[in-house]
Amino acid sequence: MSLALVAKKDFQDASRSKVLWILSVLYVLLISAMVWAFAEFESLLAGGDAAAAAQQGVSFNLYLFMAGATTLFISATALVVSYKAIAGERESGQLKLLLGLPHSRVDVLLGKVIGRTAVLAAPVVLGFAVALLVAFALGVNVVVTEYAIFALLTVLYALVYVSIVVGVSAMASTTTQATAGAISIFVVLEVLWDLVPTVTLFGYYYITDQSLPISPAEYPEWYYVVTRLAPTSAYNAARNAVLPKSASVSIDSSSFLLQDWLGFVVLGLWLVVPLLVGYWRFEAADL
């Protein structure tokens, strides 16, 4: 009851942000463009070329194309919409109005996560709807149930990202700290998480004087295990677990640690752990 109220009010407030609307319009355009790009690509690769690509261990489908635009939109927008969710209200004094009413700090934290996820889910659902129409118009073959599952998975990914950002916001006592936290999230999750293993791997081949494998599919297993621990890679793995497999690099997933369904476990951890840490700090804080 209390949770739903906080979430609803938070949605009402945050959804009136102009930045969100601008980002949403960009997303609808971007995702439609990706569907168009896929349609073009599909006609290019029609027939023998597609089979040849599949032979190389590479397979492309519509969801892979959509996922690229979507992860970029969600990670960036989740940060913009949520980084001040707790810290900003704490600094301005809005939290005194909210917590002056009979809401617990857990209600506030979870209400924010739900409210901001709803704010993010609205453009995602709109973008998916528009993209579906574009796909139909361009004659792309879409299985609607698969498409719907992908949309649900994407909302889950948005929820995970918002949880991370709200969790960090709850740890911060000022908006300056929250801003630093948000930038760190982006740099760590979207840049370093791929960059550090890649540099390590290349460095390893260089120092041991070995030549780099021609296909990324032959990179050592640990490389993929590590990179898949990031939420965005986990979302892609989870997508491959429930939808027709599609990735720019097809790796051997017979190893237990590279099972696609583990993507859901990783997403689950990213959903819960930052929130728990954030709650632990927020619960003890003097406002």
Partner 1 sequence: MAAIEIDRVTKRFDEVTALDELSMTIEEGEVFGFLGPNGAGKSTTIDILLDFVRPTSGSCTVLGMNPQRQPEAVRQRVGILPDGYHVYDRLTGRQHVQFAIDSKGGDDDPMALLERVDIADAADRKAGGYSKGMTQRLVLAMALAGEPDLLVLDEPTTGLDPAGAREMRRIIEAEVDRGATVFFSSHILEQVEAVCDRVGILSEGELVAVDTIDNLRDATAAGETLTVTLSTPASESAIADAEAVTGVQSLTTDGATLTISCDGNVKMDVLDALESAGHEVVDFSTEETSLEDLFMQYTEVNA
> Which of 16, 196, 206, 212: binder of partner 1 (CB under 8 A)?
16
174 part of the interface to partner 1, by CB under 8 A? no
Residue 13 engages partner 1 in binding (rule: CB under 8 A) = yes
Residue selected from 97, 148, 191, 276 as contacting partner 1 according to rule CB under 8 A = 97
Smaller CB separation from partner 1, 47 or 102: 102
Distance CA 81, CA 15 (A): 9
The verdict on 287 binding partner 1 (CB under 8 A) reads yes
Question: Is residue 54 close enough to count as binding partner 1 by CB under 8 A?
Answer: no
Which of 45, 50, 72, 103 touches partner 1 (CB under 8 A)?
103
CB of 171 to partner 1, least distance (A): 17
142 contacts: CB under 8 Å, gap ≥ 6: 62, 132, 135, 136
If one asks whether residue 17 binds partner 1 (CB under 8 A), the answer comes out as yes
Whichever of 97 and 265 has its CB closer to partner 1, that residue is 97
Stretch binding partner 1 (CB under 8 A), from 33-41, 70-78, 96-104, 127-135: 96-104
- Which is nearer to partner 1, 65 or 282 (by Cβ)? 282
Of 1 and 214, which CB lies nearer to partner 1 in the complex structure?
Answer: 1
Nearest approach, Cβ of residue 285 and partner 1 (Å): 9
Please choose, out of 6-14, 64-72, 116-124, 253-261, the segment that lies near partner 1 by the rule CB under 8 A. Answer: 6-14
First to last CA, the chain: 24
Size of the site for partner 1 (CB under 8 A): 23
Q: Which residues make up the interface to partner 1 (CB under 8 A)?
A: 1-2, 5, 9, 12-13, 16-17, 89, 92-94, 96-97, 99-104, 284, 286-287
